């Protein structure tokens, strides 16, 4: 009898041996593993979406049709947008949340580790489906990342079905990630860590997670309505059947506007960690930062129709959406003021994370100002659907969200890898990115003011010179990101060992919430919270 139980014990031991090789990554429930996978995946998607942007800028380098067919050009603008929003920016922030939130609140891991694994592993399949749609007969989605009806219903290729399925999977992943963040923050804080002692990165993610849970089902609803309009004979968005194409825009932007804040709120948390560290000062106005973040999130639900000023809504509604949109600039201005006040008379040093954070503050503010211009209804009638809008949201998303993600990677890389990156190479990456991103996006404001429409493969002769400059900036910015890849790989493979406090002199800051030494599984003991 004993021999049977011995066999049983042996079998159990064998069963619980940690998986090796690839299976370790497939089965892992460790928040750091999952955070790393999110970050690498988002970087791969960033390069993929960037390659599509290169196709767009190559076509627009000169007037006339050179490289690609107009239909393929439209597929590139569509899939570029979808990949950058859902495949690059959002998974990168989720990866940062996975890595940092448990450490910052003194938790051993995320609250729901199995669900964490699943929410990551469905993403590669979602994007494989989206990219596969490009190879279908009739081509991939060609209706813009906002997929307005009837372009996405009556006139869409059959691959719209794959697109809808792919968006559903991304949405499921986002909702699971958001639930995990909320449960972790609410239930797993170290003893004594009240809400108003949370690091701001944790706060911004808590608020972002509630936004995700609120708006992702709206996106799921609208893509399902698109699907049934296209394949099942419904008429939600078809006027001939009693529907309304403008209804699509209302539902889409009710998701889409909070979505753009989902892509920037975690940035605010990152910048609020980095600026104090390199200013050697506590963050100025912690409580006002928390309230400002919550205000932005709340206001984001009542401004959606500023994307729709030209659809012919009543003047009363236009005024309402105009004033609400202008109101959002107030809490945003509070944040910028607090960052500047934090740096005021601080002992600032300009390491790479701080350079990216400073660039974020300046360039994000430019994006905010052009957004304020777009908020003004009569003015928006002129700007709407021109390159001015493209310039505006790329300033917010590229020199905003993406720069903050890079700042975060440089800031926490020593903690993640135990090694120091090459500061000289990193600074080269920063300056190449900073210069090229402005050559790429700043002239677009003038193209838009001159009347050049968005999403066109060809344009009038008077825009030729500026487009050539923009395209050169685009190629330069794309190539600059390969330096970033080199910095990270070099750091992992041959970086100098990092000290316990890589950014010396940053006392009393987020670093103190991380233990001094960070071996692989060392975060089960919560650090003392003062």
List, by residue number, the catalytic residues.
80, 109, 145, 173-174, 257, 259, 261, 272, 306-307, 332, 335, 454
145: nearest Cα among 217, 210, 56: 56
What is the C-alpha separation between 174 and 172, in angstroms, rounded? 5
Tokens of 317: 């509604």
- Concatenating the DSSP letter of every residue in 197-245 gives GS-HHHHHHHHHHHHHHHHHHHHHHHHHHHHHHHHS---SS-GGGT--H
Task: Quickly count: other Cβ atoms within 10 Å of residue 71's Cβ.
Answer: 14
- Concatenating the DSSP letter of every residue in 246-288 gives HHHHHHHHHHHHHHHHHTTHHHHHHHHHHHHHHHTSPPTTHHH
119: nearest Cα among 226, 202, 38: 38
Task: Decide the pairing of beta strands 496-497 and 419-420.
Answer: antiparallel
* Residue 212 and residue 178 in contact, taking contact as beta carbons nearer than 8 Å: yes
- Number of residues that make up the chain: 530
Residues 6+ apart with CB under 8 A from 1: none
Tokens of 197: 């002692």
What is the C-alpha separation between 476 and 446, in angstroms, rounded? 20
Q: Dmax of the chain from CA atoms?
A: 90
346: nearest Cα among 508, 500, 498: 508
Q: How many CA atoms lie within 13 A of 248 on its CB side?
A: 22
């Amino acid at each position: 009898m004993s021999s049977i139980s011995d066999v049983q014990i042996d079998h159990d031991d064998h069963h619980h041996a940690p998986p090796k090789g690839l299976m370790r990554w497939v089965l892992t429930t460790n928040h750091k593993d999952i955070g790393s996978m999110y970050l690498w995946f988002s970087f791969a998607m960033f390069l993929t979406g960037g390659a599509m942007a290169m196709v767009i800028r190559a076509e627009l380098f000169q007037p006339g049709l050179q490289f690609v067919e107009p239909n393929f050009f439209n597929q590139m603008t569509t899939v570029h947008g979808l990949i950058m929003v859902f495949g690059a920016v959002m998974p990168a922030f989720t990866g940062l949340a996975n890595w940092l939130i448990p450490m910052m609140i003194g938790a051993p891991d995320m609250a729901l580790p199995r669900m964490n694994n699943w929410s990551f592993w469905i993403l590669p399949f979602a994007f494989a489906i989206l990219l596969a749609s490009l190879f279908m007969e009739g081509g991939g989605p060609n209706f813009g990342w906002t997929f307005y009806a009837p372009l996405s219903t009556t006139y869409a290729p059959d691959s719209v079905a794959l697109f809808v399925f792919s968006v559903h999977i991304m949405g499921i992943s986002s909702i699971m990630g958001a639930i995990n963040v909320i449960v972790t923050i609410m239930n797993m804080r170290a003893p004594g860590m009240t809400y108003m002692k949370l690091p701001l990165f944790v706060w911004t993610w808590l608020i972002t997670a509630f936004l995700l849970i609120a708006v992702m089902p709206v996106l799921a609803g609208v893509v399902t309505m698109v699907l049934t309009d296209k394949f099942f004979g419904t008429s939600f968005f078809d006027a001939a059947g009693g529907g309304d194409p403008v209804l699509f825009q209302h539902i889409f932007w009710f998701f889409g506007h909070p979505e753009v804040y989902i892509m920037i709120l975690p940035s605010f948390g990152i910048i609020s960690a980095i600026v104090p560290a390199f200013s050697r000062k506590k963050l100025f106005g912690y409580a006002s930062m928390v309230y400002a973040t919550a205000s932005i999130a709340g206001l984001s639900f009542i401004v959606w129709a500023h994307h729709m000023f030209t659809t012919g809504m009543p003047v009363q509604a236009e005024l309402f959406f105009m004033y609400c949109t202008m109101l959002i600039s107030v809490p945003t201005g509070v944040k910028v003021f607090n960052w500047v006040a934090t740096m005021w008379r601080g002992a600032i040093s300009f390491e790479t994370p701080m350079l990216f954070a400073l660039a974020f503050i300046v360039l994000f503010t430019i994006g905010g100002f052009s957004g304020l211009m777009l908020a003004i209804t009569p003015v928006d009638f002129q700007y709407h659907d021109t390159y001015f809008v493209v310039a505006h949201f790329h300033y917010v998303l590229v020199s905003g969200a993406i720069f903050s993600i890079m700042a975060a990677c440089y800031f926490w890389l020593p903690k993640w890898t135990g090694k120091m990156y090459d500061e000289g190479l990193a600074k080269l990456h920063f300056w190449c990115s900073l210069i090229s991103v402005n050559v790429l996006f700043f002239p677009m404001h003038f193209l838009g003011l001159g009347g050049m429409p968005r999403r066109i493969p060809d344009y009038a002769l008077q825009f030729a010179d500026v487009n050539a400059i923009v395209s050169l900036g685009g190629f330069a910015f794309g190539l600059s990101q390969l330096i970033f890849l080199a910095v990270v790989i070099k750091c992992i493979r041959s970086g100098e060992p990092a000290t316990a406090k890589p950014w010396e002199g940053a006392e009393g800051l987020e670093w103190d919430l991380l233990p001094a030494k960070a071996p692989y599984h060392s975060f089960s003991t919560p650090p003392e919270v003062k």
